[in-house]
Amino acid sequence: MGLFLLDYGAGNVQSLANTLQTLGHSFKWITSPSDFDDATCLIFPGVGAFQTAVDGLASRGFLEPLRDYIISGRPYFGICIGMQVLFQSSTEGASAPGLSIIPSKIDVFSNEDKTVPHMGWNSVHLLDPHHKADEGLDETLYYYFVHSYRVTYNPEREPNTAPWVHSVTQYGQEVFIATVHKDNVFGCQFHPEKSGDAGLRLLDAWLREPTFAQSQSQSTTRNPFPPRPKDGFTKRIIACMDVRANDQGDLVVTKGDQYDVREKATTTTANLPDGTSSPLTASVAGAVRNLGKPVALAARYYAAGADELALLNITSFRHSPLRDQPMLAVVRAAAATVYVPLTIGGGIRDTIDPDGTPRSALEVAGAYFRAGADKVSIGSEAVYAVERLRRATTAAAAAIAPAAGGSDGSSAIEAIARAYGRQAVVVSIDPKRVYVQDGSTYDGPRKDELMIGSGEEEGKAWWYQCTVSGGREARDLSVVELARGVETLGAGEILLNSIDRDGTGRGFDFHLVNLVRRNVRIPVVASSGAGNVQHFVDVFKKTDVEAALAAGIFHRGEVRIDEVKEALIEAGISARTTKTRPSSYKA
């Protein structure tokens, strides 16, 4: 008897387990259909795609026991997919019906006025704020959402669904259901386990309610909630940690200057026995820059108010991604101490272990998710996938091949997006400038992407070429071609780096950021070049990106995250601050 967690076999459920342990709540896992009979409270931390979740529940024999549990009147808390399965169906998985406990259907967001997925921190609006059953929600705080599908709030069109609605959120001009609460059922579209102290407060409040109180709620008439001129969506500040092995084999956080992570080489001159100097000199490579331990830095940035964290493995794996236990241990340890989203990159590709065992990118991603990652970042493999996509499309258009063109569905992006949802897939792009001699007469294949400089760059013209292998190899692919391609394949977010600006402190490359932002409808994270607080203000003022990322200036203490947030708010840019965060919850 007691609290049970339901895991259908996909996604990051470890983070919720870590959160409950931090809050002091013991629990057991549902491992067989009979475990539902022993549960007096049940949390379903669903992560991933609707169809995968329903199929996973059915294949384990959990679907009907779950329905019976909820109907029995025992307390149920559904998170994200755990809430969505309560509804009739979703266009994300048309062949997989939901539990039909709530009489509504789930559909995809419109991307006409915003990017999709809805990825980031947003506010909630309680429909009955005077009622006791706010379950720890606070309209002055922000919660982390990451989803492409939602249930629109429309009490006039769907009066039978309206009594279930506890709170709503606005994204763009769409108002959707953020939480449901009726009788024994509570569900939220956002992730409380990734919503910092605000999320801890919500979980703790629900779990500390007596079982009887958890099974009771008043149902009141729900009035329309027309969209407001501006939603509560905030800009994100992401702290990135490039992780690699130093010369002693320890994993450290490092930072490169235009992707070079070693200290400057030293040159020595040999002294001959007669006291003269030898004409021969030797250049000794500098040590890998060590800016700290990844887990300690992750905890520091979480406490400082970072909206997300990224751990990118930029070194070669000792054996293979799945056998690189030190990196997996770093992910587990970081996920146990931070309660905001964690992106992991490095080695997300099809590989073969030293013993000949093949490992798919989906399997590698799954290991990271089970260790505590929320998203995985794909780099070079995304470039190769888009090159294959373009070749197939070109061949089909030229009638060289009988296929209809497009992808065969085998890329890492597609495989992971099918299983976990596109919101779980980030593509990291490493472009560099290619200058042309005369921009006014250039008539090359990238003329539609040509940038014309002004000010200190007056007279210069260039386009952006994509690279692989950490920027060491250029490919015949432009940044726009890559960005559009990964969106087509199913990526949910683009991490946009700049080899030219990396480590320079000159600010973000607005030409590059705006170029990509105009050509895709998925979120974009601006990276590379930040040197001071004003650079973050500028990138949000001069571009429409959803997030900005920095590394070295945070590691070296040159800029603090709270300084960035304060500057954004002072400039009229919506940002999540830490000043209103409750101090009574461990973080």
Query: Contact 238/549 with Cβ under 8 angstroms?
Result: yes
Q: Which of 191, 511, 535, 555 is catalytic?
A: 191
| DSSP class per residue in 373-417 | -SEEEE-HHHHHHHHHHHHHHHHHHTTSSSS--S--S-SHHHHHH
Active site annotation includes 80: yes
Task: Please give the torsion angle defined by the CA atoms of residues 354, 355, 359 and 363, in that order, rounded to the nearest 10 degrees.
Answer: -100
Q: Which of 242, 387, 414, 493 is catalytic?
A: 242
Query: Contact 207/186 with Cβ under 8 angstroms?
Result: no
Query: Contact 301/561 with Cβ under 8 angstroms?
Result: yes
Neighbours of 404 (CB within 10 A): 8
Q: Which of 7, 193, 204, 414 is catalytic?
A: 193
Distance of alpha carbon 172 from alpha carbon 109, whole angstroms = 10
Distance of alpha carbon 311 from alpha carbon 557, whole angstroms = 18
Beta-carbon contacts of residue 295 (< 8 Å; ≥ 6 apart): 330, 333, 334, 337
Which ranges constitute the DSSP H helices of 72-185?
A: 81-84
**Coil, helix or strand for 104?**
strand
Distance of alpha carbon 114 from alpha carbon 91, whole angstroms = 19
Distance of alpha carbon 220 from alpha carbon 551, whole angstroms = 49
Look at the block and give the residue holding tokens 């800016």: 291
Burial of 587 per CB tally in 10 Å (0-12, 13-18, 19+):
middle
Q: How many helices (H) and strands (E) does the chain have?
A: 17, 30
Look at the block and give the residue holding tokens 């992730």: 191
Active site annotation includes 193: yes
Structure tokens at 459: 């007279």
Neighbours of 218 (CB within 10 A): 12
Q: Which of 7, 41, 55, 80 is catalytic?
A: 80
Cis peptide before 159 (omega within 30 of 0): no
Greatest distance between any 2 Cα atoms in the chain = 98
Active site annotation includes 247: no
Active site annotation includes 430: yes
- In a 13 Å sphere around the CA of 189, the CA atoms on its Cβ side amount to 33
Distance of alpha carbon 446 from alpha carbon 428, whole angstroms = 21
Active site annotation includes 188: no
Burial of 61 per CB tally in 10 Å (0-12, 13-18, 19+):
exposed
**Which DSSP state fits 164?**
G
Beta-carbon contacts of residue 310 (< 8 Å; ≥ 6 apart): 238, 239, 240, 241, 342, 343, 344, 345, 377, 495, 549
Q: Which of 134, 414, 430, 502 is catalytic?
A: 430
Active centre residues (catalytic): 80, 191, 193, 242, 430
